[in-house]
Amino acid sequence: MDAHAPVVGVLALQGAFAAHELALAEVGVATRQVRSRADLAMVSALVMPGGESTTMSRLLATSGLFDELQRRIDDGMPVFGTCAGMILLATEVLDGRPDQRSFGAIDISVRRNGYGRQVDSFETDIHVEGEALPFHAVFIRAPKVVAVGPEVHVMASHDDVPVLVRQGSVMVASFHPELAGDARLHRMFVQHNEIRKA
Ligand code: GLN
């Protein structure tokens, strides 16, 4: 292990963070669960997992993490948001709770639970740009992207709706890539942002 290698944080206030750590470990980067500002100070990139965006928004505020995380994101820290993490990073959230906050880090409008309720959760294979083999995407009460700004690059769509998009160092997915047993999207995040391996 290289003690100076960058550490990729996984926001661990709530939700599906453990499987993200496994995927990142498979890619070969060091990881750390982030629950406090002290944890955040030790990481140079962050994965924001799926879960419940309203709960995460509340916990980000009560833990004192929200403003510091906003500052780091505004400073250009690479972030990968999945499902609820996508909602938290979007510029506009439709059907959110009035008090839920988001970071406005990627110029997309998302509709919370836009694919329907828990019973409407589904799995499908998607084509990701640059990848020969399909990626198995698990959608769980997923947010639906309803608009993307001109700076946003669409990496994958499902039924003509973007489901994996990137803007600069911010990448977001409507689905749960950590549940696919396939670390390719985590590898893309690490490689695109030139995060060195441990
Ligand atoms: N619908 C959830 C929310 O509003 C997201 C679901 C998920 O992350 N699997 O945050």
pLDDT at 191: 95
67 within some domain? yes
pLDDT at 1: 54
* pLDDT band of 164, cuts 50, 70, 90: very high
Q: What is the pLDDT of residues 139-150, one digit of tens each?
A: 999 999 999 999
Cα dist from 180 to 113, 128, 137, 188, whole Å: 20, 14, 7, 15
Closest to 105 in 3D by CA, of 92, 124, 117: 92
List the CATH number of the domain containing 132: 3.40.50.880
**Lowest mean pLDDT: which of 7-11, 14-18, 21-25?**
14-18
Q: If you measure from the C-alpha of residue 129 to the centroid of ligand 1, how many angstroms do you get, rounded to a whole number?
A: 25
156 within some domain? yes
Ligand 1 atom 2, closest CA: 52
Catalytic one of 20, 21, 158, 176:
176
Counting from 1 in the atom list of ligand 1, the atom nearest the Cα of 55 is 10
Closest to 45 in 3D by CA, of 12, 84, 15, 72: 72
Taking residues 141-170, report their average pLDDT: 98
Taking residues 54-73, report their average pLDDT: 97
Q: Rounded to the nearest 10 degrees, what angle do helices 184-192 and 18-27 cross at?
A: 70
* pLDDT band of 120, cuts 50, 70, 90: confident
Taking residues 166-178, report their average pLDDT: 98
Report DSSP letters for 112-152, one per residue: TTTT-SGGG-EEEEEPPTT-SS-EEEEESS--EEEEE-TTP
Q: Is the dihedral of CA 100, 90, 146, 139 positive or negative?
A: negative
Cα dist from 175 to 3, 50, 75, 83, 194, whole Å: 33, 8, 26, 5, 24
- Higher pLDDT: 1 or 26? It is 26
Do 101 and 57 touch, CB atoms closer than 8 A?
Answer: yes
pLDDT at 196: 84
Q: If you measure from the C-alpha of residue 1 to the centroid of ligand 1, how many angstroms do you get, rounded to a whole number?
A: 35
Q: Assess whether the C-beta atom of 140 lies below 6 angstroms from ligand 1.
A: yes
19 within some domain? yes
pLDDT at 138: 97
1 within some domain? no
Q: How far apart are CA 96 and CA 100, in angstroms?
A: 7
pLDDT at 35: 96
Number of domains the chain is built from: 1
Taking residues 13-22, report their average pLDDT: 94
Cα dist from 92 to 82, 111, 126, 155, whole Å: 16, 9, 25, 20
Q: Assess whether the C-beta atom of 57 lies below 6 angstroms from ligand 1.
A: no
Count Cα neighbours of 168 within 13 Å in the Cβ-side half-sphere. 13
118 within some domain? yes
**Which DSSP state fits 44?**
S
Counting from 1 in the atom list of ligand 1, the atom nearest the Cα of 87 is 10
Closest to 89 in 3D by CA, of 98, 77, 158: 77
Residue 176 is a catalytic residue: yes
Pocket test for ligand 1, best of 17, 112, 178 (most atoms within 8 A of CB): 112
* pLDDT band of 116, cuts 50, 70, 90: confident
Find the domain containing 155 and state its range: 7-192
pLDDT at 3: 65
